[in-house]
Amino acid sequence: MRYFRIKALKFILGCGSFFSLLVCYGQKPEPKLKESFISKNLDFKGVALEDSDYTLWGCAPIQDEEGKTHLYVARWPEKNVDPAWRKSSEIAHYVSDAPEGPFLFSDVALKGTGIDTWDKFAPHNPEIKKVGNRYVLLFIANSDYVQPPHPSNQRIGMAISDSPYGPWKKVGGNGQILSADNPEKWNYQSANGVANPAFLPFEGKYFIYFKTRQGSGPLRYGLAIASNLEGPYEITDTPVTANKGVLEDGTVFYHDGFIYLLTTDNHGENTGIVGGGTLWKSKDGIHFRLEDAAIGYDRLPQYYAPYDEEKVVKVYGADPKLERPKILLQDDKPKYLYGPGGWNIYGGERTVVYVFKINDN
């Protein structure tokens, strides 16, 4: 009898949450939002990138004029996720002839400076866009990975190159373009600083969306706008997302007359899916209402069959969810969704980057 009690306890703990417990028993709560044109048309293609020597996290895609697909990936050599990424993350560049891979390592785009700068440690959260003929790489970094002061010392930087292969030149000398240090702004002294940047040129201006918080309130997405690519960026007066609970991992794109912001719904308070994606929709990119949002994606077991719980390796996180979602546009249409997973569904000991094709409606 004691054996069965222990097995039951391990089962419950492995589920990680009440929602996960329901899923383990085959019951799934009704979603709070409708499915989006993305979630309804996702086609799981498997692993785009894996590296036995690195933990992979964050994956920003872009295509060049020759049709090659480039991924800018946060990676670190340690197998443990925390605090390794805070001190050891770098942004590596991988290249493939096709969006679904395989991707081969090319170079390291950014490393921490190792000296007394705001980005001494751990370039992370890569975001890549092309503006004119130049490639624009956004990232976060920190001056001290010990908690505290981390994560309140997270800031956002920008580097620019004429080629996806670099070299990358940090704007303004040191690269920093955004922080939570302005006492006149609503996110002043945010406990998470500013993180998870998502970048969009829009109607002659430049929008940077970022995860932050006000006091002890929930993590929300803020917005900073500039008339010039290299800034200065001015944070708007209020958050742009009317979310419930925790959200993060934003990626942004313009499609069919709307700005879409795709974020992770960590606890399912917006979508009803723990670890699902919330696809926010806005005409002006400044106001994203929950009533206009839809489900961006579901959890990994919904797409991969057969999902073998005995084989899956939990590398990081309580739930088998997609992390750091990023969209690849082709002909101004969202065509691929990339994201690492803290759970390796193939049984490996490292995280991998999964890829989904977004089929036509």
Question: Mind spelling out the 3-state secondary structure of 186-226?
Answer: CCCCCCCCCEEEEEEEECCEEEEEEEECCCCCCCEEEEEEE
- Do 288 and 28 touch, CB atoms closer than 8 A? no
Summarize pLDDT for 43-102 with one digit per residue, the tens: 999 999 999 999 999 999 999 999 999 999 999 999 877 789 999 999 999 999 999 999
pLDDT at res. 8: 39
Interval 4-27 mean pLDDT = 40
Percent of the chain with pLDDT strictly greater than 70: 91
List, for residues 241-286, the tens digit of each pLDDT value: 999 988 999 999 999 999 999 999 999 999 999 999 999 999 999 9
pLDDT, residue 80, reads 78
**Rg (Cα) of the chain, in Å, rounded?**
20
| pLDDT for 151 beyond 90 | yes
Over residues 2-28, the mean pLDDT reads: 40
Q: How far is CA 134 from the centre of its chain?
A: 22
Residue keyed to tokens 């409606």: 361
Q: Alpha carbon of 253 to those of 112, 234, 260, 327: distances in Å?
A: 28, 20, 5, 8
Instruction: Let me know: does 309 contact 75? Beta carbons within 8 Å.
Output: no
With 80 as the cut, is the pLDDT of residue 21 above it? no
- The Cα 137–Cα 134 span in angstroms is 10
Distances from the Cα of 74 to the Cα of 54, 139, 156, 235, 305, angstroms:
10, 9, 14, 26, 28
Question: Which residue reads 């019951």 in tokens?
Answer: 27
pLDDT for res 83: 84
The pLDDT mean for the chain works out to 91
Enter the DSSP assignment of 301. Answer: G
Model confidence at 124, pLDDT cuts 50, 70, 90, reads very high
Residue 17 CB contacts under 8 Å (≥ 6 apart), including other chains = 267, 274, 318, 319
Pairing of strands 104-110, 90-96: antiparallel
- pLDDT above 90 for 32: no
Helix (H) or strand (E) holding 315: none
**Greatest CA separation for the chain:** 69
Task: Quote the pLDDT of residue 17.
Answer: 43
Three-state DSSP state, 244 = coil
The answer to whether the beta carbons of residues 276 and 299 sit under 8 Å apart is: yes
pLDDT for 353 beyond 60: yes
Q: What is the pLDDT of residue 317?
A: 86
Cβ pair 109, 86 in contact under 8 A: no
Q: Residue 134 in 3-state DSSP?
A: strand
226-234 long-range contacts (CB < 8 A, ≥24 apart) are 229/131, 229/136, 229/160, 229/201, 230/158, 230/160, 230/171, 230/172, 230/177, 231/158, 231/171, 231/172, 231/177, 232/177, 233/177, 233/178, 233/206, 233/208
Please give the average per-residue pLDDT across 286-291, as a whole number: 95
Query: In this prediction, what percent of the chain has a pLDDT beyond 90?
Result: 84
139-153, 190-204, 307-321: least confidently modelled range: 307-321
pLDDT at residue 174, rounded to an integer: 96
pLDDT tens-digit series, residues 306-352: 888 899 999 988 889 999 999 999 999 999 999 999 999 999 999 99
